[in-house]
Amino acid sequence: MNRIVVITGGTSGIGLELKNLYSQSGDTVLTISTRQLDDPLHYSCSVSDEKNIKDVINQIGAKYGQIDVLINNAGFGMSGICEFLTSDKIKDVTEVNYYGTIYTIQGAIKYMKKGSKIINISSAMALFPVPFRGIYASVKSAVLTLSFELRMELKSLGIDVIAICPGDIKTNFTKNRIKDFVTNERYGNRLESATLKSDSREEKRMSAEKCAKSIYKKINHKKSKPFYIIGTKYKILYFITKITPKSWLLGITNKLYGGKN
């Protein structure tokens, strides 16, 4: 197809698999991440650095003339007790996952024409958060809301905006997640218990390749939806959230994922 595709966080996990799929379709895929690679199609930059990411986007725009698909995939997770999380850790997660998405979009829009697409990778946690992942979940919820707003704002320009909400995926994302184990006697061992339970499901998770194929198929539909949930289990959970009382749902979620003393 020879589209110009830009993927942040495109050197590992879902981003890398999406890069491979677009490349196989004959598109020119440019990746952005903090990694240093000897690859003319890769740009080393942190999306949280507003000046640098916008400079990189301008370099791409000047060289290729346009951006047909922008996939905002850069990000990392964090778990911990909200009471004890430091402001620096909260800022790091917010700046990469949320501000980085905004900065990249701001830089790219002027190079996007009618028929272009912006894909924002949110998370299933934006729809149903679990204990001790509140900061990450709320940031991804902000990405989801931003996507809905931009879908309306950019409609008249012919730019399609789609949010993707994957569930647990088998990548290094969990391993690389910031894990803050600070606790006290009031919380007991709940955080450690919840973290161990989450990490133990690693082998049961959907592969990054399967997830990317699902995303690729959905975002290349002629008529897109505002957002897509990836994973049958999470689609069922989303349906349940629509037909059950919120208090009951939160209670069950806390029992399942809130850990035990």
Model confidence over 189-221: pLDDT tens digits? 898 888 887 776 666 789 999 999 999 999 999
On average, the pLDDT of the chain sits at 93
Q: Is 52 helix (H, G, I), strand (E, B) or coil?
A: helix
Q: pLDDT-based confidence at 99, cuts 50/70/90?
A: very high
Q: What is the DSSP letter of 189?
A: T
The residue whose two tokens read 């190079």 is 111
Predicted TM-score of the model (pTM): 0.93
- CATH classification for the domain delimited by 4-257, as one of 3.40.50.720, 1.10.3720.10, 3.30.1360.20, 3.80.10.10: 3.40.50.720
Judge residue 137's burial from the number of C-beta atoms within 10 Å of its C-beta, 0-12 exposed, 13-18 middle, 19 or more buried: buried
**What is the Cα–Cα distance from 47 to 166, expressed in whole angstroms?**
21
Segments making up each domain of the chain, as ranges: 4-257
Question: What pLDDT, on the 0 to 100 scale, is given for residue 226?
Answer: 98
